[in-house]
Chain A
Amino acid sequence: MTSSEVERTPEIASATTDHGRHLEQIWKTAPGIAGFFSTVDHKAIGKRYIVTAFAFLAAGGIEALIMRAQLTGPSEHLLSPEQYDQLFTMHGMTMIFLYAMPILSGFSNYLWPLLLGSRDMAFPRVNALSYWVYLAAGLFMYAGFAIGAGPNDGWFNYVPYSTRPYDPGLNIDFYSLGMIFLGISTSVGAVNFILTVLRTRAPGMSIDRLPIMVWGTLTASAANLLVVPAVSLAFFLLWMDRQFETHFFDVARGGQPLLWQHLFWMFGHPWVYAIVLPAMGMVSDGLPVFCRRPLVGYTVVALSTVATMILGFGVWVHHMFATGLPNLALSFFSGASFIVTVPSAVAVFAWTTTIWLGRPVITTAFLFFSSMIVLFVIGGVSGFMTAAVPVDWQLTHTYFIVAHIHYVLIGINVFPVVGGLYYWFPKMTGRLLDERLGKWNFWTMFVGFNLGFLPMHLSGLRGMPRRVYTYAEGMGWDWLNLITTIGSFLFAFGVLLLFVNLVASLRRGRIAGANPWDAPTLEWSVSSPPPPYNFAVIPRVASRHPLWEDRLAEGGAVRSSVTRGMVLDHGRETIATTPLDGEPDQILKMTGDSYAPFVLTLGMTVLFVALLRHWWWVVPVSGLAILAALLLWLWPERELDQVAETRS
């Protein structure tokens, strides 16, 4: 092969059965254990992300239920204070780091190449690496909990309480190293998403034709790339303080507790937007399908996604209004926190108008998507209240904030995700989820959630502080907590119904067909589940809604084509296009299955365990394993056009 191989003019043809069989041979993953550990298929990785994230969701949910049992009434004795502290820390850490972002990475991993008309993500092996590292980091942090040394200083992990003099166990070491480890997964995943959207879209898919979910994940990924280093650094400094008595946070020797808070929230607040923007994108893409019309205000919604993130970089101090910073500085961050609401209002009114100007069909997915608008607004206005500094001085650290964060994270992440499951499960499995059970699923989750979390606003307004393992009677909180506990168990039952529906429908669900919802985007043009190569020929895109454009008279003279396009079957190939206009640029040779990502992850896991246990001699050994894995990974391959011919 020569470089002309990637610069050749691709053959254009219609998809045939023979051609499909040929591609299947090229792209399919080996069966059994070998394939399991070596696959780089984005669909397999996406499903693993989703399953793993839901497993963590279940774990975090059980932790929450145990806490709610403790708080059912005043002065309960189910848990010791230390147990409670580990539980609320694990709950926060699990939901925010091990569920909320990975679940969205799962959907994006699964869907992006299908949405974009590509055969895989830009860097398939990096994709596999980001999953394995996520799993390893999650298990690493849970290992601490399993041996009774789970993180116990809250997910925000404020110093000096998290420094060695106050918290001497391994608890915070597990958390510090685990977060640095997880940061590797998030970062490489973010790079992959950004490069994928810039490079591997179908010809004709200019940036004004991207699904909003792609905008959401792209924006979130760019943010993650910028902010994850801040939190990795913070945890690294803390780990150094704890192991080697450096003084970054040691007040007695000039360390700064607020340094931690700045580094953490510079990361933490953008992260909050990063774990909702892709989910908002799911609603922007899914809701219109069930309203039988395009989204109202596509352009402003896409721009507001980006605007939210940019403004989101300037609001972190609203987590620190009570720390004694000068009021002038607080005014700036207060103003920014009010302004960041504007792009959210754009999305809310765009969705609402889409319902009004459409023909809504009441499916389970629609119920989850549309109810999200309401939950988003409730979580939004409580956030608006905390933007006002003096009001925040009252609200912060109370259950009002607990209510706020749950309306935001469950409302804008969990509800769209479950809606997204009802919407895309047929694509992933070939079978529809049961709609009858789905309605039960929705109503128990919706009623349970509001029953559980709406009263928390009032608990907070009545002064109930967060993170207390018990409370005295007579404060006006008793009945509110009782209702909250009942609601949370009902909500959990709703989630259980979802799991039941998933398992049952996987076996017995109605066969979906390629496009059960008559949806407009490219993923619905291929079979359900899609073949390993996604598209037999690379589609040509001429509008935002390739599968609707005939009926909507979109796209002008040129029409999208999913049946006739570039063949690209000289090995694993897809087309690279230009970043803005999506014009064909070059043939991409895609890497195949490899054990390297898995081996690399194993090497890193050993490294982190060695750092945790101070097995210093193991560190260079794991370093060698990591080096070996990287060599295996980067070894030039003839199939990838990386080996030059010396003789012609």
Chain B
Amino acid sequence: MVPPVPESRRSNNLVIASAVFVVAPVTAPAQAETPLGYLRSFGAMAHAITPLTWGLLIISLVVCVIVIALVLGGIVLKRQAGHITAAIPLMRGGDGAGWVGLGVGISSVVLLGSMIWTVVVLAAINEPPSKPALTIEVTGQQWWWKVRYLSDDPSRILTTANEIHIPTGKPVRVELIGADVIHSFWVPLLSGKTDVIPGQTNVTWLEADRPGRYAGLCSEFCGVQHAHMGFEIVAQSPRDFEAWWNAQLKPAATTGSSVIARGATLFAYRCGACHTVRGTEAGGAVAPDLTHLMSRATIAAETLPNNVGNLSGWIANPQAIKPGTLMPTVYLSGPELNDIRSFLLTLK
């Protein structure tokens, strides 16, 4: 996970960052102190859940205060001097059943009310409020997210990774595919969790009111790098979203200096068995598609901000940054690393 992009780095430039180091083309909303704090909501599903969360939280706090007051009050008011138990005479005492009945009665009414509220909310978010604008297939795997934008037009089907762009104001259907072990898909500010289970396709939906970046993460333990399996929802106005999609569909531009050409060849040879860069010979399918790598804010599933330094370090020794990651350490000489990096930096 990466903290939200600070104000100074935000840019009003739309769709694609103009400079390599400037990421986050859209404004981040209210993720200030707590980017994953779900007591606030920014989308339709979360809007339905959050009042229930608050409601039950307040009931819970009130119950705690009452019981603590009852226990403490009883002890303070009724306590006997000294600590020799046998010295205090026994008593038959009152029956007390009425008090127990009263407490249980009130509790039951509160429980019943909460149960009904729960079912009402559950029914409300069972289906998205309107027909989904599009369907995104998200595949959870150790330890990153493959993202496919589905379309009836095969030429519009797009594969990317870890950064999920969606249009604002419309529900988006998310189909969750498990590639290896169980993961869980969670965007706290927009929706609850849905597990990603191999052998079954779970469906959820997302809707964001406003443009912004919303952090997401895997929330089911899935192996040694479960801690570094983040993703990000980037909500954009429908127009910006369309522009982004169109730009992403383009293959990588392969022209450039000899360094870049060398880098492209080297990349295809050393990295292309796992990674795809459309428009080049690199066509591997087991690792993230890097065709527009530099349009993304982070690398290694939200582990590091995407900049030259981090990119170099990651390529040189991924195991040092994310021990156990399935990306092997590929031994590269200094010049080789430089060539590959120069090539990657052109993938805007």
Contact = CB atoms under 8 A, between A and B. Distances in A.
A349 B92 contact: no
B64 A463 contact: no
A357 B93 contact: yes
B114 A390 contact: no
Contacts of A462: 34, 36-37
A349 to B, nearest CB: 4
Interface in A279-337: 289-290, 292-294, 296-297, 300, 322-324, 327, 330-331, 334-335
A378 interface: yes
Given A160-B181, A322-B184, A468-B226, A391 B100 contact: no
A466 interface: yes
Contacts of A349: 99-100, 102-104
Nearest to B57: A385
A258 B198 CA distance: 10
Nearest to B6: A474
A373 interface: yes
A345 to B, nearest CB: 4
Nearest to B199: A251
B194 A324 contact: yes
Contacts of B56: 384-385, 388, 391
A499 interface: no
Given A292-B89, A293-B91, A354-B96, A473 B3 contact: yes
Contact of A518 (B63, B77, B85, B104): B85
A339 interface: yes
Contacts of B79: 360-362
A58 interface: no
A466 B118 CA distance: 25
Contact of A82 (B90, B100, B224): B224
Bin the interface of chain A by size: 35 or more
Contacts of B194: 322, 324, 393
A624 to B, nearest CB: 41
Nearest to B230: A472
Interface residues of B, number: 99
Contact of A390 (B35, B77, B121): B121
A346 B184 CA distance: 37
A255 B82 CA distance: 65
Most buried by B among A258, A324, A334: A324
Interface string B48-69: 1100110011011101100110
Interface stretch (A135-143, A394-402, A640-648): A394-402
B12 interface: no
A465 interface: yes
A447 interface: no
Interface of B: 1-4, 33-39, 48-49, 52-53, 56-57, 59-61, 63-64, 67-68, 70-71, 73-75, 77-80, 82-86, 88-97, 99-100, 102-104, 107-108, 111-112, 114-115, 117-119, 121-123, 125-126, 142, 178, 180-182, 184, 186, 188, 191-195, 197-200, 202-203, 217-227, 323-324
6 contacts: A80-B323, A251-B178, A257-B182, A297-B97, A358-B91, A472-B2
